[in-house]
A = this chain, B = another copy of it.
């Protein structure tokens, strides 16, 4: 480095480090919010607008020029305009050649147009490098700075360098860029903010279906049957008693459904003798929403716990216990302690408590910040070993709850078994298959298959 260049450096310090001007087309809500934030982070900002009158709403330090003038001042142009108005960019094509165009638009419906907005933009201005970004961020969140919701900014684009420039800006704004690959990913990224808990859809629909079925099942057994045969009005059972039957049933069934795809996958792998063929599509999808299934199950289990713990406060329960006691007193008889009943009652409560406790542990480890802090082996230990233990405890809890009632004919009203018996079918199936799979004659080949071994290797041309 000779003296001259060093002098130039002294005169214009930091030139190489100064942040490059960013141009924003459109002075709408999001454009302005982004402009404010960029200026705060040290970027010079120039707005491109139809009317070059500066409005009081536009950040003071920003210039407002015509679209063509503004575009010439920056290498990056953020298109804060709705897709319907993209046409106005066509005459600017020559000026936009080689520029980075950032498409931040969102649609109102999933797959509203045949191609994504970003791809449409790339077709309109073929000489520009289009990058999709920022569509998942809300203007309000940008402006207020309280990014309570996601800080993740999904970025995609065909030009690596352009994508890199945009990701640098994202980082400078205090957000987290996530590279999603080429512009083909834009469709998915544009759909993302329109989705409402996509992974939760199946678990929640399934729960609603099961709730409806078991609600009417219990209604028939517990309200209609006594009304018909004993002329008793137990309609108030709907509020707590029946809900508290449905919740544990759903919790147990959903928990079992978390582990069912795992054993099914093991059977398929054993049958095929390889792990390198894709599972059927339904099984793949099922496996991907296991976490959500488990969390919904945990929600029902928690409700069950709350509904159970309020039992002694219920007016009906107090009345029943009090009238039993009064009738005992009037009949002048004291019942001796039934040790078997005490054992059954205490052990089913204890099993339920332990099962719920482990279930909550599983839920806590599935919190993103907790699971980020355990290694792979610990995560598998918790989710698999503790998970099965939870399933065993909860199934045992339900069985011991049944106790002596399983075979008592009085519990079959209108030939309908108690609802909890139905809930035991899936968990018991899962546990039996899992138990069979533990035997060495099946476990050994399965382990080898999972380590990559194949019964009939496929290396062939």
Contacts and interface: CB of A to CB of B under 8 A. Distances in A.
A119 to B, nearest CB: 18
B458 A55 contact: yes
Contacts of A379: 148-150
A193 B376 contact: yes
Contacts of A235: 339, 343
Contact of A239 (B146, B309, B347, B374): B347
A285 interface: no
A196 to B, nearest CB: 6
B29 A159 contact: no
Nearest to A295: B364
A261 to B, nearest CB: 13
A308 interface: yes
Interface stretch (A172-180, A387-395, A423-431): A172-180
B313 A311 contact: yes
Nearest to A57: B276
A375 B322 contact: no
A152 B357 CA distance: 28
Contacts of A307: 350, 353
A312 interface: yes
A372 interface: yes
Copies of this polypeptide in the complex: 3
A269 interface: no
Interface residues of A, number: 123
Q: Which residue, of A51, A324, A325, has the highest number of chain B Cβ atoms within 10 A?
A: A325
A375 B178 contact: no
B375 A136 contact: yes
A202 to B, nearest CB: 15
Interface stretch (A70-78, A86-94, A329-337): A329-337
A326 interface: yes
Contacts of A302: 357, 360
B353 A337 contact: no
Interface in A165-187: 172, 174, 178-179, 181
A305 to B, nearest CB: 8
Interface stretch (A11-19, A203-211, A222-230): A11-19
A314 interface: yes
Interface string A5-43: 000000001100111000000001100000000001110
A328 B179 CA distance: 74
A309 B311 contact: no
A362 interface: no
A123 interface: no
A345 interface: yes
Nearest to A459: B55
B314 A346 contact: yes
Contacts of A179: 41, 172, 174
Contact of A329 (B40, B329, B357, B370): B329
Contacts of A195: 375, 377-378
Contacts of A322: 321, 324-325, 328, 335
Interface in A221-253: 233, 235-236, 239-241, 243
Nearest to A367: B369
Contacts of A371: 148-150
Interface in A401-441: none
A141 interface: yes
Given A149-B376, A151-B372, 20 more contacts: A17-B161, A18-B160, A54-B461, A57-B276, A136-B375, A150-B372, A192-B375, A236-B339, A236-B347, A239-B343, A240-B346, A241-B346, A307-B353, A315-B338, A316-B342, A318-B321, A322-B324, A329-B329, A330-B334, A368-B373
Q: Which 7 A-B pairs have the closest CB atoms?
A: A315-B345, A369-B369, A239-B346, A149-B379, A329-B329, A312-B312, A29-B452
